[in-house]
Each structure stands twice: as C-alpha cells, then as structure tokens.
Copies of this chain bind each other. A is one copy, B any other.
Amino acid sequence: MTTHQQFSREAVLTAAEELVRTRGPQALTMRRLAAELGAAVTAIYWHVGNREALLDELVQRTVREMGQIRARGATPAARAESVALALRRKLRERPHLIALVHERGLTELMMLPAQRALVHEAHAAGLRGEAAAQAVRAVQFQVVGFVLVERNRERAPRQQPGEPDLWDVETAEQDPALAAALARTPDPERLFAASIRALVGSLWGAEAGG
C-alpha cells in the first residue's frame, strides 16, 4: 500500500477535542478518532504517542485557554463574589475538559488567574496571611465543588425516587412552604449565588453588595 491520508498533529488534537467537548472522554477512542480522520489507527500513535498523552495535551490547552478573570464591583466582597460567578461560568463552558484537568491534578494551575484575583480582594478587605489564604481557598473549593455537583445533577436528570416524593408537610417540620421548596428541583443559579454570598459575606467580614 502507498501512503494514504496525510494529516497534522494539529488535526488530531482538533478532532480529539471536538469529540471530548461534545460527547465526553469515553467517546474518544483511538479507532473512532482514526475513522474521523480517515486514517489508520496507528497513524495517530505516530503523532501523539498514545491516548493518555493525547488527553494530556488537551488538558494543557484547556489550562492555557482559561485565561483571565476580571473582578467587578464596588466593595472587595462584591468583587470577590463576581470572580466566583465568572469562574463558575467559565468552568461550565467546558465541563468534560475541566473534569480531565481536575483528574490530572492541574486544577491549581488552571485556577491561578482566579486565585490571584481573589487574593487581591481578600487583601483589600484587610485579610492577611493564613486567614487570607483560607478565605481564598474556601471560595475556590466552593466554586469547583459546586460545579462538580451541578454537572452530576444534570447528567443524572431525574432523581430515581423523585425528589417530590421525599418531602411532604409532615416530614418538613409542618412547614408547607418548606416542603414545597424542597420538592422543587433547585435552581442552581440562585443557589450558587446565595451560597457564595453567604460564604464571601462571612469570610470577607462584610455584606457582599450586588
């Protein structure tokens, strides 16, 4: 046989990223990728080594693309809050890739711009040393953790027993409004905003303004 399809390492990475972004890492099989590129499976190995190295490269790219975070608002607390909100939005744009970054232990590096912004606002609020570090990390963990929980909830659309069934007036401290609220699927947008406001408000030592 003669040499058939010619394609760059770049083409491999692009096709792989497309697969991972739209259908998740489990959809990235070397054979499927080869088919997509119209080449033999083994050609991919020449370009990128193996599957693990390929995923590593995608992860590197994601870290680079995460870019800058700009704080907005009047008070340090409000500005810290805005960083958290922006961070969540960015993370949610590429959930599969973020999960990979996370598994490969590059979360810290990826979070650096946001972390710097939070450090700045913590300092502006008068926090110093260990206390500032803990406040910054608490917000970081909160955002990443929330996004992970949120994603998993979306992936598992209907809770198997159905949340509505679990709460009635009797189990909810005789509080009908509470029972109704717990029976509803939570609005992650509002829940996140409220949680972050509570956390930042407490750690930054002030009310976080809108």
Query: A residues near B, CB below 8 A?
Result: 102-109, 112, 115-116, 119-120, 123, 128-130, 132-134, 136-138, 141-142, 144-150, 152-153, 155-161, 163, 166, 171-173, 175, 177-178, 180-182, 186, 190-191, 194-195, 198-199, 201-203
Contacts and interface: CB of A to CB of B under 8 A. Distances in A.
Copies of the protein in its oligomer: 2
17 contacts: A106-B160, A108-B166, A109-B159, A109-B161, A115-B182, A116-B171, A119-B173, A119-B178, A123-B178, A128-B177, A130-B177, A132-B178, A136-B182, A138-B195, A138-B198, A142-B145, A145-B146
Contact of A138 (B108, B112, B156, B191): B191
A156 B123 contact: no
B181 A130 contact: yes
Contacts of A128: 175, 177-178
Contacts of A133: 178, 181-182, 186
Contacts of A145: 141-142, 144-149
A105 B195 CA distance: 22
A119 B195 contact: no
B155 A149 contact: no
Contacts of A198: 138, 198-199, 202-203
Given A133-B182, A141-B191, A145-B145, 12 more contacts: A103-B155, A105-B155, A105-B158, A107-B152, A107-B159, A108-B159, A138-B191, A141-B145, A144-B145, A145-B146, A145-B149, A199-B199
